[in-house]
Amino acid sequence: MKIKNITGSFCRKCLQESIPVDLMVRFAKIVSPEYDLYKRTGLNEGMAISNQDAARRVVADLIRDGQYIDFVEALIQIDAKGYMGRRYTLKGLNDVVSGVIQEGYTFDRASGQFFENQNERITDNWGRLKDGDERMMAVLRLDVVSNSSLVKQNSAKSVDKAYRDLRNIVTQSVVYRLGRLWSWEGDGALAVFLFGYKEKAAVYAGMNILHELYFYNRLDNPLNNPIKVRLAVHMGPVRYWNNTLERIKNETVKETVLIESQATPADALGVSHNVFLSIDRGIQELFSGEKSFPGGRVRNYTFGMEKA
């Protein structure tokens, strides 16, 4: 990301007015463990560096290394909770945060992280992740049941429209909850959630897709058959890659696919045991009893309006 000079100046001022040089370096090492101020400046170790020069160098280096926003997030945590048992008041931190927001980001208080402002742009990495970054994510998998039959039994025009509509339903359900649609195949999709209460967001997105599809099949579906889907949500470490094919090789993604394909019936959402424990009790009561399959323990949700 490209940070404007005015944004960096807020952070430089905050550092030089709040903490000594040794703490600037210590805080920088939170996001860049190998950071060495003397190597970066070319000065001999032990030489005096003013607060102003150190702040200027630290901020410039972290911007150049693509770690500036990570550094600001670390400063927010330090200001709120302290560092190694000591409290620090960082003067002008609100200006630093406002500067990042002006760059086109939104601050998520639940996770203490910034992500891109969705009113301005939507990218697969939320404007944050770099190639190879690994984070804990909630994964949502969708598969269209009997896809080949739908294609054979309906006109190409009707199939194109129905799948376009389905993709819109899925995209809106995912992006509204700060998720990202990482892949869309002819018969399925993969979405991921990183920010906020990600497990809940993924589950609610899956439930919403089932609800929307229920009414779509009865009111707007141009096909001769209803569109049936299987959905699954799982949680675990996921590594981001710019290459879409590399992303789906992740173990957590593979486990989510197993839940969808082996433990979830048509028109249902299957969630893993760890995801189920993280959702609200009122929502838990809508799920079936737990069942085991070779990949673990799962509970299913179906939209039961037809039983009402």
Percentage of the chain modeled with pLDDT above 90: 86
Query: Helix H segments across the chain?
Result: 5-18, 21-31, 37-41, 51-64, 68-81, 93-102, 147-153, 156-175, 198-219, 244-247, 251-263, 273-278, 281-284
Name the fold adopted by 134-307: Alpha-Beta Plaits (3.30.70)
Q: Cβ distance 16 to 49 under 8 Å? A: no
What are the structure tokens assigned to 93, written together? 């931190």
Has residue 301 got a pLDDT over 90?
yes
| Residue 305 pLDDT | 53
| Residue 7 pLDDT | 84
Task: Write out the DSSP string of 265-292.
Answer: -TTEEEEEHHHHHHS-HHHHTTSPPPEE
Kindly indicate the confidence band of residue 295, based on its pLDDT and cuts at 50, 70 and 90: confident
| Residue 304 pLDDT | 72
Nearest to 54, CA basis, from 75, 77, 28: 28
Percentage of the chain modeled with pLDDT above 70: 98
Nearby residues of 81 by Cβ (< 8 Å), 6 or more positions away: none
Task: Write out the DSSP string of 26-56.
Answer: HHHHHH-TT--HHHHHTPPTT----HHHHHH
Has residue 306 got a pLDDT over 80?
no
Q: Cβ distance 99 to 59 under 8 Å? A: no
**Which amino acid is located at 33 in the chain?**
P
Has residue 258 got a pLDDT over 50?
yes
| Residue 1 pLDDT | 59
**Which amino acid is located at 229 in the chain?**
V
Has residue 308 got a pLDDT over 90?
no
| Domain ranges (residues) in the chain | 5-103, 134-307
Identify the residue whose tokens are 């991921």.
Answer: 192
pLDDT of 32-46, one tens digit each?
A: 999 999 999 998 888
